Amino acid sequence: MTNDTTKGQGIARGLTNYGDPAFSRYLRRSFASSMGYSREMLDRPIVGIAHAASGFNNCHRHFPEMIEAVKRGVLASGGLPVEFPTISLGEVFLTPTSLKFRNLMSMDVEEMVRAQPMDSVVLLGGCDKTVPAQLMGAISAGLPAIQLVAGPMSTGRHKEHRLGACTDCRRFWQQFRAGEIDQQEIDTVERKLASTAGTCAVMGTASTMASLTEAMGMMPAMGAGIPAVSADRLRMAEDTGRIAMGLIGSDLTPARIMTEQAIENAVTVLLALGGSTNAVLHLAAIAGRAGLPLDLRRLNELSDRTPVLVDLKPTGDYYMEDLHYAGGIPAVMRELRDLLHLDARTITGETIGDRIEAAEDWVDRRVIRPASDPIRETGGLVALYGNLAPNGAILKRSAADPKLFEKEARVIVFSSLEDLSQRIDDPDLDVTADDMLVLQNAGPTSGAAMPEAGYLPIPKKLARQGIKDMVRISDARMSGTAYGTIVLHVSPDAASGGPIGLLRSGDRVRLSVKDRSIEVLVGAEELAARREGHTPQRATAERGYAKLYAEEILQAERGCDFGFLVGTPVQTAGD
């Protein structure tokens, strides 16, 4: 073994620069020895384990056990596993919203994978933004990588109800707001909603992104849905460690797995799942890192031919653990086989077509419907365009009320989240069930940084009359666990000068899902005049990450990535 390499494998990879490579290697081995490693261990190839465990992330509380299992797999295959923490994004613990920090986490993952000596990497995440951040960072880092996820929470019980975060959180909250249940009962429900480690139990953003990661081939078959608390989850972790060892020296970098075909497969699966609208943003960002576009008009084409097959909350009856036991993503993909790129490669070496062939025959048809008898004939999401959203908007039609799909109505406009919270429950608010609600200045360039606020509450006085849904329009996002006739991601957003910022209460808007359109019925001259006197409220910041965010954030159709992060992956230091 020589002492002068600047490249090579394992601990010798990407040396710290002291101007003397031999000294650098000697010093690194010496310091690594202080951790108690034997010489034999330090000569092994290294599998990094980039994990997002944190006391501020309930979904990841079982990660220590999972990390041990990954290490077993690596050690059994002759490698040295080395875990390292990255930023963690616990969905409900971050202000103003976790999306603001997804790109920061992706930069952390990218730079630490590139800067530290490892030959392949296991990405261990789960909560909503963590998996997209890890995939984005791994594409840019260019090192062979495999994704392992937390797995879903198991469901709890309240009286006769099965409970899963967080669709049932919203259902009970809505009942509380409508006066149907009292404070004591909502307090009881609060304690029971999230009862195990793991990610939200429904087809929210975390479950959707786990499913799409499997569909793109970045994890083994059945990897998305194993419950967090199952022993199978630990076996999957062990297996992941083994596979990560097999990736060392291969050409299976993330950009070679997450190709245009793989991303299109993911979009098709997303549509069939009735998955989270957030996934559209994340897939656009992932595609952007690989130098690929995610065209919303193409999403509409795929949506027109893709049936909704999976009956999970928030749109259906079941939970993520049920999808797993019903046959999982391979069973869903088998139903979609005529719509998929079957020759797309996966991290385990087989193609998507091979995985479909190997899928178990038995499928629980209550949860995964056959393509011949779908839940809906067309996909769960649709992109809308028009003078209100020149660059597009998203509607989750599978979670919406079809009676509201073709509608022209008066709008009630809230200029910000603060305005919304101050006025929405005002008994004197001039609003009827026939109106549309509009929220401005909650998009990516606003100070709110695109929170999941698109699920505007039904005004209390209407909720108490039994109104459950209204058309709601915003430049914000919506939690994957929410439902309703909700137009999201309107682009350009209000704070960057988009037309949604010119709307005024009393204007009329026409929504047509059939025509994929969203139009404000105000003359061009009047809109131009309003623009003259209008100053968009784009957020600014003096320093730090907030400044970087304010200056670099892209619009929704570009995945809200930073402009300077988009593009072709670079090679790692050791290559």
Six-digit token pair at 309?
């097959």
Q: Counting beta carbons within 10 angstroms of the beta carbon of residue 260, is it exposed (0 to 12), middle (13 to 18) or buried (19 or more)?
A: middle
- Between 59 and 296, whose beta carbon lies closer to ligand FES? 59
Whether residue 436 contacts residue 530, with contact meaning beta carbons closer than 8 Å, is answered with no
Number of other residues whose CB lies within 10 A of the CB of residue 61: 16
Using CB under 6 A as the binding rule, whether residue 200 contacts ligand FES is answered as: yes
From the list 196-204, 314-322, 416-424, 537-545, the region that binds ligand FES by CB under 6 A is 196-204
Among 54, 97, 155, 199, binds ligand FES (CB under 6 A): 199
Closest contact distance (angstroms) between CB of 249 and ligand FES is: 34
Using CB under 6 A as the binding rule, whether residue 133 contacts ligand FES is answered as: no
For 316: left if phi > 0, alpha if psi spans -120 to 50, otherwise beta; the answer is beta
- Between 59 and 356, whose beta carbon lies closer to ligand FES? 59
Whether residue 379 contacts residue 336, with contact meaning beta carbons closer than 8 Å, is answered with no
- Between 98 and 446, whose beta carbon lies closer to ligand FES? 98
Residue type, 550: A
From the list 200-208, 253-261, 295-303, 537-545, the region that binds ligand FES by CB under 6 A is 200-208
- Between 310 and 513, whose beta carbon lies closer to ligand FES? 310
Closest contact distance (angstroms) between CB of 136 and ligand FES is: 18
CA 214 to chain centre: 13
Give how far Cα 326 sits from Cα of 81, 202, 319, 358, Å: 34, 14, 11, 15
> CA-to-CA distance for 404 and 146, rounded, in angstroms?
42
Closest contact distance (angstroms) between CB of 189 and ligand FES is: 16
> CA-to-CA distance for 417 and 479, rounded, in angstroms?
16
H or E element at residue 40: helix 39-42
Using CB under 6 A as the binding rule, whether residue 333 contacts ligand FES is answered as: no
Whether residue 462 contacts residue 433, with contact meaning beta carbons closer than 8 Å, is answered with yes
- Between 92 and 548, whose beta carbon lies closer to ligand FES? 92
Whether residue 143 contacts residue 114, with contact meaning beta carbons closer than 8 Å, is answered with yes
Using CB under 6 A as the binding rule, whether residue 202 contacts ligand FES is answered as: no
- Between 127 and 283, whose beta carbon lies closer to ligand FES? 127
- Between 168 and 238, whose beta carbon lies closer to ligand FES? 168
From the list 197-205, 340-348, 376-384, 540-548, the region that binds ligand FES by CB under 6 A is 197-205
From the list 132-140, 198-206, 446-454, 504-512, the region that binds ligand FES by CB under 6 A is 198-206
Using CB under 6 A as the binding rule, whether residue 59 contacts ligand FES is answered as: yes
Number of other residues whose CB lies within 10 A of the CB of residue 360: 11
Six-digit token pair at 356?
């479909």
Among 22, 32, 42, 92, binds ligand FES (CB under 6 A): 92
Site string for ligand FES, 336-365 (x = CB under 6 A): ------------------------------
Residue 345 has what DSSP assignment? Answer: B
Positions touching ligand FES (CB under 6 A) are 59, 91-92, 127-128, 199-200, 204, 206
